[in-house]
């Protein structure tokens, strides 16, 4: 496919529309901008394949397509975050700055101290909804930049609870191991766990054992030698002070930018365009896909527009990104006949965050992390729960620990498109997880002991999820390989495919394993015929 690139300039109304587009896409707008907008350059080009978003689904697709000889353009709204020993790449948890939040003037996580700063394409976005806000990563590597990295594979019965349309055996035999070979998960070693920085984890283990449950070290995509180097004073603290949720400054984390994407770029066939916020995806009269993106600067202002015509588009913008883009296309009719089930089967993975406060014993200042100790209470698949401890990275003895639970949740959330705002918003019934919430609460209470400290359900007062799933469910909106029904060359690769729950496991491993499965099939059957 020849690559044609043309430039022209857009001013007046069109430029204003582009700026409004980025505001709609990001949920933010400039206040007080009164001067006439300068003309915006517009670039038109043809590509064989465009991937939107560089999270788990997008990165897996990028690597496997590039390895199959297919040139790929990946559009990512965020920036690159290069780390290394003693780097100062990311914002710190206890002194947040503009790098912590996506085009916001204050932190988007309520667990962070308050701050005011300039807009910047920071690493965490908060997508507001009705009854639920979605918290997600933004940048090259998507959620892997900010995730703690808990990497769990569900058992066969748990997998069947949430993805009965897929055969577990090949997933277990081939695709989960394929992901593991790239992300290299490892459990926390004894010497790190037994250090004084990891006191809160030791307390958690003691409580789990006293409750008659079995503690579990959760596999993490981490080179634990970095934590050792921090303990030895060779590297500035990051892991060992729990300063991880805005990214790990030292590196040593096998995030997607240094694994899948680095390998894809090494083929010479992947081009990543950062600071490109996709606004719309459409089907043209020739049956090609047209992707419109605003190129922004680090202040969030649109500086150029791109219109890219492609043979194939892979949606990897995460649940909030992918589902909203497809629903915009459905609402405006720019992609006709999208399945009616688009936007449905949205769930939170049951994600519930508790603060355990007023603990009498010391729990340690700047608790070591990431969250890597838990309980897998999976005996009954339909009521399976995982409970983990997350570090509290405050620089004083707080007598607080964070405890997170999740399980197999009902999938009653949905996105709905509003033509007035040209955006789709997630709606989440408040009582969706009443039974699961109670079960998570009871399990955590069993661990903490009912007379020690006080448990506060922070998700009740701030309904958010780090684990959004669904919106373009596999076998419904798409076929069983992520091809959008009735639309040759349009694919969904990310968490939108998984209906609401990852089987009482953190979702990244299953998102990546399903993406590995699907892209293998697509490379065999669609490369050379569809694109
Ligand atoms: C703080 C935190 C901790 C977490 N901890 C864990 C954990 O320990 N284990 C685990 O398994 N999961 C964890 N998760 C969840 C995990 O990060 C997500 O499930 C996973 O990243 C989702 O993968 P994805 O491929 O669906 O999309 P994402 O990883 O969300 O990637 C989507 C990408 O698309 C980009 N994008 C979005 N919209 C556009 C657009 N319009 N134009 C261009 N680009 C766009 C985004 O910037 C992003 O890079 C955590 C999440 C958070 C926020």
Cα distance between residue 170 and residue 167, in whole Å? 7
DSSP bridge partners of 137: 124
**Residue 460 φ/ψ, nearest 5 degrees:** -65, -45
- Residue 35 pLDDT: 67
Segment 131-176, tens digit of pLDDT: 999 999 999 999 999 999 999 999 999 999 999 999 999 999 999 9
In sequence order, the 6+-apart residues with CB closer than 8 A to the CB of 37 are: 11, 12, 15, 16, 19
Q: Which residue has the tokens 């993106």?
A: 293
Pairing of strands 414-418, 423-427: antiparallel
State what percent of residues in the chain have pLDDT above 90.
89
Q: Rounded distance, CA 15 to CA 9, Å?
A: 9
Q: Model confidence over 48-96: pLDDT tens digits?
A: 999 999 999 999 999 999 999 999 999 999 999 999 999 999 999 999 9
Give the C-alpha distances (Å, rounded to integers) separating 240 from 205, 248, 260, 271, 334: 17, 11, 26, 35, 49
Nearest CA owner, ligand 1 atom 37: 317
- For 143-275, strand residue ranges (E) read 215-217, 270-273
pLDDT in tens, 408-424: 998 889 999 999 999 99
Per-residue b or e along 337-370, where b marks 16 or more CB atoms closer than 10 Å to that residue's CB: ebbebbbbbbbbbbbbbbbbeebeeebbbbbbbb
Q: What is the pLDDT of residue 348?
A: 97
Measured by CA distance, the residue closest to atom 47 of ligand 1 is 138
Summary mean pLDDT of the chain: 93
Whether the per-residue pLDDT at 274 is higher than 70: the answer is yes
d(CA 391, CA 369): 6
Helix axes 199-210, 434-448, angle to 10 degrees: 100
State in Å: Cα 497 to ligand 1 middle. Answer: 13
Ligand 1 centroid – CA 385 distance (Å): 22
Alpha-carbon distance of 437 to 444, in angstroms, equals 11
* Mean pLDDT, range 515-529, rounded to an integer: 98
HEC profile of 95-111? ECCHHHEECCCCCCCCC
Q: Are 73 and 58 in contact (CB under 8 A)?
A: no
Q: Check residue 450 and give its pLDDT.
A: 87
Q: Are 469 and 413 in contact (CB under 8 A)?
A: no
Peptide bond into 103 cis (omega under 30): no
| Helix or strand run (H / E) with residue 42 | strand 40-52
The whole-number pLDDT of residue 411 equals: 84
316 Cβ closer than 6 Å to some ligand 1 atom: yes
What's the pLDDT score for residue 433?
87
For residue 22, pLDDT beyond 80: no
Q: Is 321 in the pocket of ligand 1 (CB under 6 A)?
A: yes
- Ligand 1 pocket, mutate which of 317, 324, 370, 373 (most atoms under 8 A from CB): 317
Q: Report which secondary-structure segment, H or E, holds 148.
A: none
Angle, in degrees to the nearest 10, between helices 176-183 and 508-525 = 110
**How many Å apart are CA 26 and CA 353, to the nearest integer?**
26
Q: How far apart are CA 295 and CA 300, in angstroms?
A: 9
Query: What backbone torsions phi and psi does residue 7 show, to the nearest 5 degrees?
Result: -120, 140
280 in ligand 1 pocket by Cβ < 6 Å? no
Phi-psi region of 165 (alpha: psi -120 to 50; beta: other; left: phi over 0): alpha
Which of 4-18, 76-90, 282-296, 341-355 is least confident?
4-18
pLDDT confidence bin for 34, thresholds 50/70/90:
low
Would you say the CB of residue 507 lies under 6 angstroms from ligand 1? yes
Residue 25 Cβ < 6 Å to ligand 1:
yes
Helix (H, G, I), strand (E, B) or coil at 240: helix
Q: In 3D, which of 131, 28, 57, 24 has the Cα closest to residue 414?
A: 131
User: What is the per-residue pLDDT across 487-498, written as a single tens digit (0 to 9) for each?
Assistant: 999 999 999 999
| Ligand 1: nearest atom to the Cα of 506 | 11
| Residue whose CB lies within 8 A of the most ligand 1 atoms, among 61, 143, 183, for a mutation test | 143
User: Which residues partner with 59 through β-bridges?
Assistant: none
Q: Which atom of ligand 1 is nearest to the CA of 58?
A: 25
């Amino acid at each position: 496919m020849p690559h044609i690139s043309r430039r022209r300039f857009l001013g007046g109304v069109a430029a204003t529309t582009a700026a409004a587009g980025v505001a709609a896409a990001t949920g933010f707008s400039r206040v007080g901008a009164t001067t006439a907008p300068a003309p915006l350059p517009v670039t038109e080009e043809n590509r064989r394949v465009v991937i939107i978003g560089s999270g788990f689904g997008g990165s897996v697709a990028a690597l496997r397509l590039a390895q199959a000889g297919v040139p790929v353009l990946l559009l990512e709204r965020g920036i690159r975050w290069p780390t290394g020993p003693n780097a100062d790449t990311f914002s710190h948890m206890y002194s947040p700055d503009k790098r912590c939040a996506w085009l916001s003037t204050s932190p988007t996580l309520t667990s962070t101290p308050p701050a005011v700063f300039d807009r910047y394409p920071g690493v965490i976005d908060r997508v507001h909804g009705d009854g639920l806000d979605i918290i997600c990563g933004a940048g090259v590597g998507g959620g892997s930049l900010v995730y703690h990295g808990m990497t769990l594979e569900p058992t066969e019965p748990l997998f069947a609870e949430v993805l009965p349309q897929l055969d577990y055996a090949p997933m277990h035999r081939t695709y989960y191991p394929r992901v593991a070979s790239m992300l290299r998960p490892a459990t926390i070693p004894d010497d790190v766990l037994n250090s004084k920085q990891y006191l809160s984890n030791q307390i958690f283990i003691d409580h789990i054992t006293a409750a008659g449950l079995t503690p579990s070290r959760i596999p993490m995509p981490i080179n634990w030698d970095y934590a050792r180097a921090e303990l030895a004073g060779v590297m500035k603290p990051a892991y060992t002070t729990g300063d991880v949720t805005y990214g790990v400054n030292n590196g040593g984390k096998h995030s997607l930018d240094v694994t899948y994407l680095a390998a894809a770029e090494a083929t010479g066939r992947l081009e990543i365009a950062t600071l490109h916020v996709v606004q719309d995806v459409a089907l043209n009269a020739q049956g090609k896909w047209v992707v419109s993106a605003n190129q922004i600067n680090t202040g969030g202002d649109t500086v150029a527009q791109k219109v890219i015509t492609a043979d194939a588009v892979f949606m990897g913008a995460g649940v909030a990104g992918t589902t909203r883009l497809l629903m915009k296309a459905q609402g405006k009719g720019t992609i006709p006949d999208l399945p009616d089930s688009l936007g449905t089967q949205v769930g939170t993975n049951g994600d519930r965050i508790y603060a355990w406060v007023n603990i009498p014993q010391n729990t340690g200042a700047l608790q070591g992390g990431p969250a890597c100790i838990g309980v897998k209470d999976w005996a009954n698949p339909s009521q399976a729960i995982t409970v983990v401890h997350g570090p509290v990275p405050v620089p004083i003895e707080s007598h607080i620990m964070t405890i997170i639970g999740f399980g197999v949740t009902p999938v009653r959330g949905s996105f709905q498109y509003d033509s007035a705002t040209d955006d789709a918003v997630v709606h989440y019934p408040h009582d969706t997880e009443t039974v699961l919430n109670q079960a998570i609460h009871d399990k955590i209470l069993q661990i903490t002991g009912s007379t020690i400290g006080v448990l506060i359900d922070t998700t009740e007062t701030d309904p958010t999820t780090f684990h959004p799933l669904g919106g373009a469910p596999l076998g419904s909106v798409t076929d069983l390989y992520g091809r959008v029904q009735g639309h040759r060359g349009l694919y969904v690769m990310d968490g939108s495919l998984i209906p609401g729950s990852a089987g009482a496991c953190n979702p990244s491993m299953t998102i990546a394993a399903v993406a590995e499965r699907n892209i293998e099939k697509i490379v065999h059957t669609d490369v050379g015929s569809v694109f």
